A and B are shown apart, each in its own frame.
Chain A
Amino acid sequence: MLRRLRYPSYFLPFLFLLILGLLPFIINNEYILQVFIMFLFNAYLASGWNIISGFAGQLSLGHAAFVGIGAYTSTILFVQWGISPWIGMIFGGVIAAIFGWLIGYPVFKLRGPYYALATIAYGEIIRIFIQNTKAVGPIELKGAEGILIPFKGSSPALFQFETKAAYYYVALAMFLLVLLLSYKIKNSKMGYYLSAIGNDQDAAESLGVNTSKMKLTASAISAFVMALGGTFYAQFLLYINPQGVLSGDFSTEIAVIGIIGGEGTVFGPVLGSLILTPLSELTRIYLGGRFAGVHLLAYGLILMAVVTHIPHGVIGTFSKLYHRILLKLGDPVVSAKTGAGKTL
């Protein structure tokens, strides 16, 4: 293993990892660190979305619903009953997974645009419900006003930290875990089944793939991942409201990141976030409220350009570039495969 680290195709990823791991020590600027946290977080969410929409080709435009379920579950458990968000996170994940399974059961009968329409509809139902409901029995949803999370000072057990760096490491850990999960799924039997479903569902079915079970499983996993992201979002911002965490725009943003990067690949969503997050965060910081909407305008233009000119996302272009760099560095593993290498 260590000897292999001499090869660029092994040490380059390690180098990236090392840089990511040491980043808070390199960067003192809080704003820039914030941008990196959002980069990791967006990549995380887009990767979660990618499990059902990318691998299995079921375009979801309502994934904010699952993020919202996670955020609301852990927040309500914490604010009302003092249960640590770390535990609430798991609860939220399980509830979202059950919800993803249940909603998928009828909705997966629909194909293509009809499925996308249905995802918008359930996303909207949940948003409208929470936005207009003050409380359900003892559970206080607080409607449109949203829920403020009290800051208890530095208390890691309660998912609250004083420094941005600590949040950065939580985001990094979640990011790496979701990449590992994506990689495992993609390279498992399930991943092949999902990709068969994405290509041609009827053909997959006729070859004996249990398509509805596969899609339901992928949907539940995807919902679970999204919900954990929701808890992070809540603890990081210390405020959640339905117009933010449950909005249709948020759902669209998650999908756009995944698609621009390259849906159905492990690293596509990461690249999408790498391109789009700095764009949105920097415009937000420097142009502020005065030019509201600039980042979404840019998102829209980039999305249209990508759909028109690079239909499979930037991952393809990037992949070629990366292999060319490896070849330039004289990597024997890649050149042995005549430059083709593993697909990312």
Chain B
Amino acid sequence: MQTLIAATLNGLFMGSLYGLIAVGLSLVFGVMKIINFAHGALVMVGMYAVFYMWSLIGLDPYLSLVVVVPVLFLFGYFLQGKVINPVLKREFGRNGHAVILLTVGLTLVLQNAALLFFGAYYKAAKTFVSGMTWDMGGVVTSVPRLIAGVVGAIVILGLQLMLSKTDLGKAIRATGQDREAAGLMGINDYKIYNIAFGLCLAILGIAAALMLPMYYVQPEAGKIFEMRSFVIAVLGGIGSLSGAFYGGLIVGLIESVTAQVWSATAAEMLIFVVFIGVLLYKPSGLLGK
């Protein structure tokens, strides 16, 4: 029973972290209507950024956010502005294959550039929370996971507040709802796109810092999170932030509990089966309309 409670707790914490990563994907889709196939590669970029801040300067991953978040925001801003927007402008109103392929190309570039420059070795940052556990009367949970879960939820909440209360947030949502109408209201739509992509990368930077005490960094480290994000974003209704959070919790629970009572392979497959099921029967998401 205690192991099952621990599995549930771990599932919820992981789910919150997955949710945070999926929120980035969902935000980009909600605003620009593109599915970013480079999402996992960008998670990996964030992880390397945090890792090297730790290994070169000795900055703790949690502290390094002060540097990593603004840098990644700018990286995202210019990536959208210089690389994605030109194709988006040309392809306006078409089926969107071109943008998918652009992000597939970006994945290949980022992943293999990492392989080339940083090697295929698994790198790990040992921080003061790595390997720390917390025993709550027999239910043991890992501290970095707990922190990731709690901070993940707080960041999602903060983002949601920002989107609903601030002028910038309203402009972002307006652009997502109707780009042309937003443009007529004096919103610079392509600049909003840049900001949205920058925000997505900033979120991934935070996620990367939360992950570093418990995950190895390597060129394909982001892949599993990308797959999870696709599943979660669709599950929660793609484009919806709160949906992504709940979707994250569901996937985290499926993963952790199935692995506990059955096997890790079964968990892995079950997630994809649920994914295809939702795609087929409720593409708007379990929580969508």
Contact = CB atoms under 8 A, between A and B. Distances in A.
A215 B91 CA distance: 24
B276 A121 contact: yes
B101 A122 contact: no
Given A307-B101, A307-B102, A125 B283 contact: no
Interface residues of B, number: 43
Interface string A118-138: 101110110011001100000
Contact of A124 (B83, B87, B115, B272): B272
B109 to A, nearest CB: 4
B117 to A, nearest CB: 10
A122 B96 contact: no
A155 B75 CA distance: 57
Contacts of A107: 276, 280
Interface string B41-81: 00000000000000000000000000000000000000000
A332 B83 CA distance: 45
Contacts of B139: none
Contacts of A301: 105, 109
B35 A252 contact: no
B227 interface: yes
A132 B234 CA distance: 26
Given A114-B283, A304-B105, A311 B112 contact: no
Contact of A259 (B95, B101, B110): B101
A118 B279 contact: yes
A297 B101 contact: no
B104 interface: yes
Q: Which label, helix, strand, loop or mixed, suits the secondary structure of the B interface?
A: helix
A303 B112 CA distance: 14
Given A121-B272, A256-B104, A300-B106, A291 B35 contact: no
A113 interface: yes
A294 B112 contact: yes
Contacts of A113: 34-35, 96, 100
B265 interface: yes
A311 B115 CA distance: 28
A155 B275 CA distance: 46
A72 interface: no
B34 to A, nearest CB: 8
Given A118-B279, A291-B116, A307-B102, A112 B108 contact: no
Interface in B252-289: 265, 268-269, 272-273, 275-276, 279-280, 283
A75 to B, nearest CB: 22
B165 interface: no
Contacts of A259: 101
A125 B108 contact: no
Contacts of B268: 128, 132
Interface in A47-93: 57, 59, 61
Contact of B107 (A110, A129, A132, A300): A300
Contacts of B162: none
Given A117-B35, A293-B116, 19 more contacts: A57-B95, A110-B283, A112-B96, A113-B35, A116-B100, A118-B280, A120-B227, A121-B279, A125-B269, A125-B273, A133-B265, A252-B104, A293-B115, A294-B112, A294-B116, A297-B109, A297-B112, A297-B113, A302-B105
- The 10 tightest CB contacts between A and B, nearest first, are A300-B108, A303-B105, A293-B112, A300-B109, A293-B115, A304-B105, A297-B112, A132-B265, A113-B35, A296-B112
Interface of B: 34-35, 83, 86-87, 90-91, 95-98, 100-102, 104-113, 115-116, 120, 219, 223, 227, 230-231, 234, 265, 268-269, 272-273, 275-276, 279-280, 283
28 contacts: A57-B95, A57-B97, A106-B280, A107-B280, A110-B279, A113-B96, A114-B279, A117-B35, A121-B230, A121-B276, A122-B272, A128-B268, A256-B101, A256-B104, A256-B108, A291-B116, A292-B120, A293-B111, A293-B113, A293-B115, A293-B116, A299-B105, A300-B109, A300-B110, A303-B104, A303-B105, A308-B83, A311-B91
